[in-house]
Amino acid sequence: MDEIKFDYDQENDSLFIFRPNEKVKGSVEIGEFVVDLDMSLNKVVGLEIINASKTLALALSKKINKTALTHMKKAFLRTEHKDNAIYVLYGIVSVYRDKKIEENTLIPVAIEPAINKP
């Protein structure tokens, strides 16, 4: 399985989940999410969540504060292909004050994957 790293900037409330050592071809901005795609446009190599505490709180329908995000333990990032579109599946796990917070979300990205021509 690919190595996934994450970095949370508490001052800017920005969470970045990424595959280290992958080259980015381009980025797509969808609301509070910035999706980084690889050189072949077939795989998501990074995801930035702007205003992460508020954005994730909306997704989870419960309050998440910046301190909980600084205690993240794990993150994952996957790419799914369906109906000529790319879908980003991301997840985080945080443990704060003996409470485990888990978030798994699917984001559709409306671009066609690159087609390999012979």
* pLDDT tens-digit readout, 36-51: 998 776 789 999 999 9
Which of 88, 95, 94, 93 lies closest to 48, judged by CA?
88
Residues in the chain: 118
Is 100:111 a contact under the CB 8 Å cutoff?
no
How many CA atoms within 13 Å lie on the side-chain side of 75?
A: 21
* pLDDT tens-digit readout, 75-92: 889 888 887 778 888 888
Separation of alpha carbons 91 and 76, rounded Å: 5
pTM for the whole thing? 0.81
